[in-house]
Amino acid sequence: MSAGDDPRERVARAFEREYGGRPEALVRAPGRVNLIGEHTDYNDGFVLPMALDRAAWIALTPRSDGVVRLLALDLSQRGVFDVASARRRDARGDPHAEQGGWLEYPRAVAWALQDGGGHTLRGFDGVLASDVPRAAGLSSSAAVELAVAAAFQVSSAFVWDEVDIARRMQRAENHWVGVASGIMDQLVGAAGVAGYALLIDCRDLSTRPVPLSADCAVVVLDTATRRGLVGSAYNERRSQCEAAARALGVAALRDADGAALEAVREALDPLVYRRARHVIGENQRVLDAVEALEAGASAAFGRLMDASHESLRHDFEVSSEALDAIVAAARAAPGCLGARMTGAGFGGCAVALVERAALPAFLSAAAEAYTRASGRQGELLVATPSAGAGIAAS
Ligand code: GLA
């Protein structure tokens, strides 16, 4: 990426043009890539994502009233709202919620921060830009939400509690945007630790940084396909998991093991059985992955990533032809220890663990093989584990 594309530079320059003065603060919130633990978060399970060096940035100057003026640089669109007008709105099922009105995200954040004995907010003049690829399974929307929350923290000076912020941002997504997503994206975006992946227990929301071997690189492979209206398929998977938990007599699939599932197999809809088999297996794979990483066993971690993909493909059925093609291309390339789709699925990105020594050969071979198989031009980026959202030195 050239310096001219750096969103941090772009928001600072655009702020001066737009408001005629230097911004008082610069905030940043990262996208994320999930290494393993897919569709487990809303089952009270375990996930192992890492915050990316791709992020949403806001240059801002606080205001003394409740007005938020925001220029979305990537869209060349301006929006204004008053925090007092950001009231609860149930947009569930609204087909315009995802693409319509980017300003809904900042408004949702203002609502969620104020809701239920929340914070008293003051507004700000700001410029927003992001280099997190959109709708690619890298949490571009959580990055924007957290950047807006960090901007409000600067203008309103409330205490920044990572778990509370993540919970509020999840509610913004659930109640305002209308996707019943789990807590993973918001929590790793808030609590990510530079240089580490983050194990999250999605029941008690405790987190633990997990080291990645310096000999390996995490590569994000973008299929250049974008998921369509993923909301309905996502919400459907979630209900199937809840049905399985009810049949098993547990609060969430987190509480079940393989033996318990086999014991009720006959009574379960075969589809619901497969969904549950994925979640139960995936939770165990996350715990095994953490053990492997902490023991420096990268190859074992890679094999768990492979197994995760197969389970997502066949049991949970959230992969796609393009995702399967790029995962196959990655696995056949030099130095690949494992590869899987990442995020909600149906399009977007995969992630691979690659021996650093083989990185250049991996990147060209995987890109070429994917183009040959799919006719598409994928984009590969080597990801650096980064810190969670907050104020950046301006
Ligand atoms: C999306 C959701 C997350 C999580 C993943 C699947 O990214 O926002 O909460 O459920 O899908 O693992």
Pairing, β 67-72 against β 124-130: parallel
pLDDT at 108 over 60: yes
Q: Tell me whether residue 120 is exposed, middle or buried, using C-beta atoms within 10 angstroms of its C-beta: 0 to 12, 13 to 18, 19 or more.
A: exposed
Tell me which residues are annotated as active site. 185
The finding on whether 41 has its CB within 6 A of some atom of ligand 1 is yes
Q: Which residues of 288-312 are buried (b: 16+ CB within 10 A; e: fewer)?
A: bbbebbeeebbebbbbbbbbbbebb
* Cα–ligand 1 centroid distance for 150 (angstroms): 22
**54-75: per-residue pLDDT in tens?**
999 999 999 999 999 999 999 9
Q: Which domains does the chain have, with CATH numbers?
A: 7-209+386-391 (3.30.230.10), 211-383 (3.30.70.890)
pLDDT tens-digit series, residues 331-360: 999 999 999 999 999 999 999 999 999 999
Cβ(327)–Cβ(339) below 8 Å: yes
Average pLDDT (256-267) is 97
pLDDT at 14: 98
CA atoms within 13 A on the CB side of 197: 29
- Angle 165-115-164 (CA atoms, 0-180°, nearest 5)? 20
| Measured distance CA(244)–CA(219) in Å, rounded | 34
- Please write the tens of the pLDDT for every residue from 172-212: 988 887 778 999 999 999 999 999 999 999 999 999 999 99
Dihedrals phi, psi of 82, to nearest 5 degrees: -105, 135
- Measure CA 156 to chain center: 26
Quick one: pLDDT band at residue 93, thresholds 50, 70, 90? very low
Mean pLDDT of 13-23: 97
Find, among 185, 192, 187, the residue nearest to 138 by Cα: 185
Q: In angstroms, what is the span from residue 81 Cα to ligand 1's centroid?
A: 29
For residue 62 the two structure tokens come to 């606080």
Residue-level length of the chain: 394
Residue 394: band (very low, low, confident or very high) from pLDDT cuts 50, 70, 90: low
Closest residue CA from atom 11 of ligand 1: 344
Q: Give nearest CA residue, ligand 1 atom 1.
A: 344
From ligand 1's centre to the CA of 237, what distance in Å? 11
d(CA 221, CA 326) in angstroms, rounded, equals: 7
Q: At 94, is the pLDDT very low, low, confident or very high (cuts 50, 70, 90)?
A: very low
CA atoms within 13 A on the CB side of 228: 3
Maximum Cα interatomic distance, the chain, rounded to a whole number of Å: 69
pLDDT score of 121 more than 90: yes
**Ligand 1 pocket residue status of 319, Cβ below 6 Å:** no
Closest ligand 1 atom number to CA of residue 38: 12
pTM of the model: 0.94
What integer best gives the mean pLDDT of the chain? 93
Pocket test for ligand 1, best of 170, 183, 185 (most atoms within 8 A of CB): 185
